[in-house]
Structures are given as structure tokens and as C-alpha cells.
Amino acid sequence: MRRVVIVGAASAIAEQYARLEAAAGSALVLAGRSAPRLEAIAADLRVRGAAAAEVFELDVNNVARHEALLDAAWAGEGGVDVVLLAHGTLPDNAACAADPALALREFATNGSSTIALMAAVARRLEAQGSGTLAVISSVAGDRGRASNYLYGSAKAAVTAYASGLRQRLHGTGVNVLTIKPGFVDTPMTRAFRKGLLWASPQAVARGIARAIARRRSVAYLPWFWWGIMRVITHIPEPLFRRLRL
């Protein structure tokens, strides 16, 4: 039986991924801020076939609570097979530009808290000699853009940290997967006009499951964002700064 830990389990992508694991009979630990919401998700997952679905209330910015979550996750026999870090917010870039304190709080939620969790999870997985640490970053971290550079900078930090951690853990049996979604139609993006480049949470969740199964290092989801971001990252800076992206 596979044991899976999901942080930010109430997010749309995470919930869809949890349903895939439930259908496979996995045991799940769901962490997030809203215990009532997580309890409702857990009940649904049990109906869908999960061997177990436990809930752990967690504010990711309370770093002192990270170890308590991992203690609970590793309490059973056999360790943990997959840890998915899926928490995050989509901050108002203009508001963050006007309020440094808000900018730092949002950076902590989307960047620092994730890095702290990655470090703690990596120690556990390395000690057991197996497992996958999957973290949802974003294509926004590939290059800072005027529309969301606070969010993008946090995700860039996560991407860089994951890259270094993946290299450090090579040969230990632990895989570090960086997930880079593009536009995803979730409650967090309900105010955005949708178009051809938008994906559903279900499609992204299936992509995450495939990437974990194949022990991928980086997964752009959907796949075509790899090509889009190659173009964007190679635009010369004198031209790029004149664009509005």
C-alpha cells in the first residue's frame, strides 16, 4: 500500500491528484489550513477507495509545525512513498509592490515555506532511501514578468532549490520532481479570462501522476508550456523589458 502526503490538499489540483491516489488504494495524509474542508475531502477519498485518509491542520508559514506533520506522516510502518507540496496563493502584484510587508508574507507562503518543507521532507526520504518529493512550482518562475513578478520570484526560488536538492539526492533513491503548470482553471484564477492555453485541474493532476510514475525531474503541464517558456526565456533583455507579459 502506497502512503502519500499532500500539503495544500484543499487546492483544486491537489484534490484531483488525491482522487487518483484514492482510486489506486493509497493511504493519504492531507495537510492544509482548513480542517473542516480537509475532513470533507478525506471522507470523499475514502468512498473513492483510499485505504486511509488522515487530516492534519497546518499553516505552512508556521515552520515550527512542519516536523509535527512529518512525524504524523511517518508514524506508520513502511515510511512515505510520495510527498506533494501543492500549497500557494496568487498575490495581487500591485498590492505587493505598494506594501513590502505584504510582499514578504506572500513570498513566504509561495517560496520560503515550501523550501523549509522541502528540506525537512528530503531528510526523511533520504534516511529511508526511497520516495518522491514533488513540488508545484510554476512557469512564472522561469522569468520575471511585470504582471506577476512577486509570485514568479517565489516560484523561481522554489525551482532553483529543487534543482539543487535533486542533484544532491541523486543516487540516494529519492526523486525530486519540479512541476511547472501554466494557466490552470481553478478557484484561484476565477477572475481571469480563459482561453486555449488553459488546462483543467484534472488534466494537470494526471500529468503529475505520470511524472511521478516515470521519476521525471521536471514536468511542464501541459507539455506545450516547455516550448512557450523556451521562447520567453530567450527573448533578449532589451526587447523583453518593452513587452507587457
| CB neighbour class for 211 (10 Å; exposed up to 12, middle 13-18, buried from 19) | buried
> Distance (Å, rounded) from C-alpha 155 to C-alpha 177?
14
Confidence of residue 50 (pLDDT cuts 50, 70, 90): very high
**Nearest in space to 30 (alpha carbons), one of 65, 54, 63:** 54
Between strands 27-32 and 52-57, the pairing is parallel
Could you tell me what percent of the chain has a pLDDT over 90?
92
Q: What is the dihedral of CA 32, 46, 220, 118, to 10 degrees?
A: 40
Is 151 an active-site residue? yes
Span 21-42, mean pLDDT?
97
Q: Give pLDDT tens digits for 153-177.
A: 999 999 999 999 999 999 999 999 9
Q: Is the pTM of this model over 0.75?
A: yes
- Indicate the DSSP class of residue 64: G
Domains and CATH numbers, the chain: 3-240 (3.40.50.720)
Q: Does residue 122 carry a pLDDT above 90? A: yes
Residue 81: C-alpha distances to residues 9, 126, 130, 136, 193 (Å): 16, 12, 7, 17, 37
Residue 58: C-alpha distances to residues 12, 13, 69, 94, 184 (Å): 17, 18, 8, 28, 24
17, 149, 151, 220: the active-site residue: 151
Q: Give pLDDT tens digits for 57-97.
A: 999 999 999 999 999 999 977 899 999 999 999 999 999 99
Cβ-based neighbours of 185, under 8 Å, separated by 6 or more:
194, 198, 199, 200, 201
> Distance (Å, rounded) from C-alpha 20 to C-alpha 135?
17
